[in-house]
Structure 1
Amino acid sequence: MSEAPIPDVEQFRHKLLAVAYRMLGTVADAEDAVQDAYLRYHQHATDINSPEGWLVRTTTRLCIDRLRTARREEYVGQWLPEPVPETWGGAGSDRAELTESLSMAFLVLLETLSPAERATYLLREVLGYEFDEIGEVLEKTPVNVRQIAARARKRLETRERRYAAPVGVADDLAAQFFAACRSGDAGAIEAMLAADVTLISDGGGKAFAAKEPVVGTRKVANLFAVVFRKLRPVSKLTLTTINGGLGAVFVTNGAPFEVITLATEGASVSRLYVTLNPDKLRLWSDAPAGAGTKRPLPWSKNANGTPPELREAEPGAAEGDVRD
């Protein structure tokens, strides 16, 4: 008697990538975790009754193991999740709940959770798993899972609501913000920023970026006005969908070197996320393989390493001028 055919499980790859990316924050790690799950599946396929459930559980466990051994404290400067286009398999733009959990602001909030809390929150709140199903993943009782879920919700609820915006409103606001940046008018940019606006930039030690968050409307507006003006003649700026919302990509000689996303609060921009680490920009490259690149240097530094764009302009100075 012939064995039953092994079902086609490739149909689950996008869902698995969605889970892994939201757990790990980088494309390469997510793809590696999913591939490992598939390898394990094919070793035991004949004994598995529910391939989708088995693969989700295994992928999640692999992600938890990776998070427990991750050394984020050794990362140079601030760490941001890798920005992804809507065309990448794990973006999950075909499901509303996956799109909502894809924003950079939400992924940054997930970083505040432990690996078990992150897995529980995603499986419960995003994918709708029952507590007993999550217990199988975490090897915990449903009661323990409920406690973990409650802790995760308590940590995220207030901050998550802050960044919530009606469909389309956030993109319209982002378009207006980037138009102000393109104009180089620091005043117009500043008018769109929340009073406690915060800029987080990730260079990973491979590109110049502020090692601490930049806070305040004047500093952030001055920075963006000058940087956009300096980059305009040497690069191509494209507005596109990034992590489910409108963002900006700077490219020079076919090589991406900066991706900007944002979070909104009411009618203001409250958070800005700038990814400069080239290792996190590979999905945005339109350069032919092996092409040489020449990266522009939008930021110059003074003796103590502070970019002059972060220093406040003198009162009455010309637009974009900064104090030495």
Structure 2
Amino acid sequence: MSSKADIFTQHRPRLWGVAYRMLGAKADAEDVLQDAYLRWHSTDSAQVESPEAWLMTATTRLSIDRLRHRKIEREAYFGPWLPEPLSAADTQTPEVAAELDSDVSIAFMAMLEALSPEERAAFILHDIIDDDYADIADALGKSEAACRQMVHRARERVTSRRRRFVVDDATRTRMLQKFICAMATGDRQQIKAVFDENSVHVSDGGGKATAAHRPLHGAERISMLWYAVTRRLSGDFRYSIVRVNGEPGLALFIRGRLFAVTAVETDGEKIHGYYSITNPEKLQGFLAG
């Protein structure tokens, strides 16, 4: 018989995937898993019919509790809030990479912020983790009918705001290179040409780093911002293409130091969404390993 530690280790990637999608912060996800493990370690295994279901329920409920607390903090957050980005090092094991293969993009995670903690849990468990409604009802302590309604409401709210483009990594990388080249020219029209006319630019500095205080809409306004950036920095910056939440994204270095990590939504021709994290607390260790 496997030990409790072995059982927890076996399911850990899946549990971490749920906790991160719920909370958008690596440290919070790790804290939830630590609490779940301690509860698992102290429970009577003979009374547990399905260890996986028990662990999923514990992780989900702990995530909901922590998210309720974080929601209060985020209401007072300075400027837009974006999730902590995942680097290639965070997804380097095949098990974790497989669990995060379903949508975990920065844009998608940001949209989940519009949901209540329980709606978010129900939506993640059903539409991403592919649990059935009976298991979700057990995890949330709700009826199956109530869970169906929560998933329906959450799906409507997410899909009404979502722009889904099926773009492979090579195409996304070419789009990022096009943006880098436009920035290198310092020409506002070339920068503007990279963005869709209805594009959105969201930056999260948390009051700790330079960032737009609210989302910018439209290629005109976004290009004016980046044109001003190129003039102010006078070439003292560089971009690298890196993995951000499983997709090609950008790391911006200013005077040799990591300043921002960015993910984009693109159809391969234009950038429709530009999501930049500059809050240094969220960038700690991004390039480690």
The secondary structure found in structure 1 opposite 2:213 is coil
1:260 aligns with 2:258: no
TM-aligned CA distance change 1:237 to 1:265, over 3 Å: closer
For residues 146-194 of structure 1, the C-alpha deviation after alignment (integer angstroms, 9 at most, x for no partner) is 111111111122333x232232333432332233223323212211211
1:94 is aligned to 2:97: yes
Aligned to 2:153: 151
- Counterpart of 1:6 in structure 2 is 4
Provide the rounded CA distance (Å) in 2 between the counterparts of 1:78 and 1:90. 29
CA distance in 2, matches of 1:122, 1:14: 15
State the SS of the aligned residue for 2:259. Answer: strand
Shift of 1:5: 4.2
The question of whether the paired residues in 2 share the 8 Å contact of 1:123 and 1:134 is answered with yes
SS at match of 1:258: strand
Considering Cα pairs closer than 8 Å and 6+ residues apart, tell me whether 1 or 2 has the greater RCO: 2
Structure 1 residues 254 and 205 mapped into 2: Cα distance closer, same or farther (>3 Å)?
same
Q: Residue 69 of structure 2 corresponds to which residue in structure 1?
A: 69
Q: Residues 86-136 of structure 1: CA distance to partner in whole angstroms, max 9, x if unpaired?
A: 3215997633x7334211110111111111111111111111100010000
Cα drift, residue 225 of structure 1: 3.5
TM-score (norm 1): 0.79
Go from structure 1 to structure 2 and tell me whether the alpha carbon gap of 1:277 and 1:5 turns closer, same or farther (over 3 Å shift): closer
Q: Is the 8 A contact 1:105 1:163 kept in 2?
A: no
- Cα distance, 1:143 vs. partner? 1.0
The CA deviation string for residues 255-288 of structure 1, in whole angstroms up to 9 with x for no partner, is 422112111246221111111111100132559x
User: Counterparts in 2 of 1:1-324, with a 5 A limit?
Assistant: 5-6=3-4, 8=6, 9-44=8-43, 46=45, 47-70=47-70, 71=72, 72-89=74-91, 94-95=97-98, 98-160=100-162, 162-168=163-169, 169-228=171-230, 230-231=232-233, 233-251=235-253, 255-265=257-267, 267-286=269-288
The residue matched to 2:281 in structure 1 has which SS? helix
**More displaced 10-residue stretch of structure 1: 44-53 or 76-85:** 44-53
Asked if the contact 1:102–1:243 (Cα under 8 Å) also holds between the matched residues in 2, the reply is yes
CA contact (8 A) 2:211 2:278 kept: yes
For residue 237 of structure 1, report the CA deviation from its aligned partner: 2.8
- How much does 1:211 deviate? 1.2
SS in 1 for 2:260: strand
Whole-angstrom CA distance in 2 between matches of 1:183 and 1:84: 30
Quote the Cα distance in structure 1 between the aligned partners of 2:67 and 2:26: 14
The answer as to whether partners of 2:23 and 2:63 remain within 8 angstroms in 1 is: yes
Alignment partners' CA distance in 1, 2:107 and 2:237: 27
Residue 205 (structure 1) shift: 1.3
**Structure 1 gap ranges (5+):** 288-324
- Alpha-carbon spacing, 1:203–1:24, altered in 2? closer, same or farther (3 Å): same
The CA deviation string for residues 59-108 of structure 1, in whole angstroms up to 9 with x for no partner, is 1111111111222111111111111113215997633x733421111011
| Partners of 1:43 and 1:255 in 2: CA distance | 45
SS at match of 1:94: helix
- Quote the Cα distance in structure 2 between the aligned partners of 1:253 and 1:244: 27
Rounded to whole Å, the distance in 2 between the matches of 1:82 and 1:134 is: 26
Letter in 2 for 1:207: A
Partner amino acid, structure 2, of 1:257: F
Give the aligned length.
283
Q: Does structure 2 retain, via aligned residues, the 8 Å contact 1:181–1:224? A: yes
Deviations 1:276-307 (CA, angstroms, capped at 9, x unpaired): 111100132559xxxxxxxxxxxxxxxxxxxx
Cα distance change of structure 1 residues 84 and 5 upon mapping to structure 2, 3 Å threshold: closer
Q: Give TM-score scaled by structure 2 length.
A: 0.88
The structure richer in helix per residue is 2
1:207-237: per-residue Cα shift (whole Å, max 9, x none)?
1222111222122113224425655754553
Task: Measure the CA separation in 2 of the matches of 1:198 and 1:260.
Answer: 13
Deviates more, 1:246-255 or 1:81-90: 246-255
Residues 182 and 229 of structure 1 are in contact (CA less than 8 Å); yes or no, is this contact kept in structure 2? no
Let me know the Cα RMSD of the aligned residues: 2.6
